[in-house]
Amino acid sequence: MRRRVSFSASEEVASGRPQRRFCAVSDSVMRENSVLDPIDKRIVRALQFDPRLPFSVVADELGVAEQTIARRYRRLRRDGLVRVIGAVDARAIGETEWIVRVRCRPEGALQVAEALARRDDTAWVSLAGGGAEVVFSLHPRAQHAREDLLAQRLQRSAPVLDVSASMILHRFVGASPVDSRGRRLADPAATPVAPGDTRIEDADRPLLDLLARDGRTSYAMLARSTGLSPGRVMRRIEALQASGLLYFDLDIAPAALGTRLAALLWLTVTPAQLEPVAQAIVEHENTTYAAAITGPFNLIATLSFGNTNDLYRHMTTKLADLTGIHTAEISPVLRQLKQAGALMNGDRLAQPTPTRRRRR
């Protein structure tokens, strides 16, 4: 029997387990200048709820032929508008993520940003601050890798004037499932992986690499590429998901949302008001990411708008109504070089580098 689903915010999946409730990307977020047509938008909403949902189930719900759904998704992915990713939750494996600001000489900032975007341990890279600042998220695999980048390589780079790094303490989840990395963040209240639970093994790396490039890769294709049996691949993915180590989400390009202006918001908030201010900010439809961090600013948020007028109204109304904000700095993003671990091609996602198929 085919699974019947309804893509509404209050839906409980067929397993009966309560899911964290959220709202899919609405028409107000997908602006008029989005390149998606109405059917494309419905497909995107469906895959936000379950990125690996079979096309047959999406077709049943939307009343469209399965071949049409599959063909449209392949086109959206080929055109760099959306892609499903499989990723490892850093918190679940006890690793720390950082937000790093690099102040550069204007003539060398793009060179620094491009070099950072090519690194495997950066998830997103933005050129901001009038073209003289590079902001990126760092997920170092080891302490020595972090120290090598922050204390050595960047400091010795000629265009770099100053480096400041902030540890991410807490990520806030609101109504929208999409963040600056294009993914739905894990529930911050989720129970961390306990000792003795499933852990990532060396044998999992080829599988995880393939899923990072295409989270909808079939079990049969994963098996052929890794040399494992389809049954073993399925069981391993289910085990990694159940343990909280692996999650799947839909990465959406700015062109698909129709956003023309992105900005980084740096806030200093009274500690007693940090939680309510962050929750209020993350509930705004223009907010794509919010996190508590260390350093002179204790809250960062990324915002997206259709134009500068929208940004002005947002700052003078929604943000102005919040109590507890001492200082605020807005830094427009001039160029997004990397998103959700993938390089950008303008306002679209570049195709990931293909991996070599394992020899048997």
Q: Kindly report, residue by residue over 234-259, the tens digit of the pLDDT.
A: 999 999 999 889 999 899 998 998 88
Q: CA 153 to CA 148: how far, in whole Å?
A: 6
How confident is the model at residue 288, as a pLDDT? 87
Q: What are the φ/ψ torsions at residue 328 (nearest 5 degrees)?
A: -140, 140
How confident is the model at residue 29, as a pLDDT? 54
Prediction pTM value: 0.79
105 or 190: whose pLDDT is higher? Answer: 105
Rounded mean pLDDT, 164-179: 75
Low-confidence winner among 33-47, 57-71, 137-151 (lowest mean pLDDT): 137-151
Q: Residue 145's pLDDT band (boundaries 50, 70, 90)?
A: confident
Q: What are the φ/ψ torsions at residue 277 (nearest 5 degrees)?
A: -65, -45
Q: What are the φ/ψ torsions at residue 64 (nearest 5 degrees)?
A: -125, 150
Q: What are the φ/ψ torsions at residue 204 (nearest 5 degrees)?
A: -80, -20
Left, alpha or beta for 94 (phi > 0: left; psi -120 to 50: alpha)? Answer: left
Is 24's pLDDT higher than 50? no
Is 75's pLDDT higher than 80? yes
How confident is the model at residue 338, as a pLDDT? 94
Is 354's pLDDT higher than 80? no
CA-closest candidate to residue 179, choices 61, 307, 290: 290
217 or 355: whose pLDDT is higher? Answer: 217
How confident is the model at residue 120, as a pLDDT? 87
How confident is the model at residue 332, as a pLDDT? 95
Is 197's pLDDT higher than 80? no
Rounded mean pLDDT, 354-358: 47
Is 18's pLDDT higher than 70? no
Rounded mean pLDDT, 300-307: 92
How confident is the model at residue 306, as a pLDDT? 86
Q: CA 329 to CA 297: how far, in whole Å?
A: 9
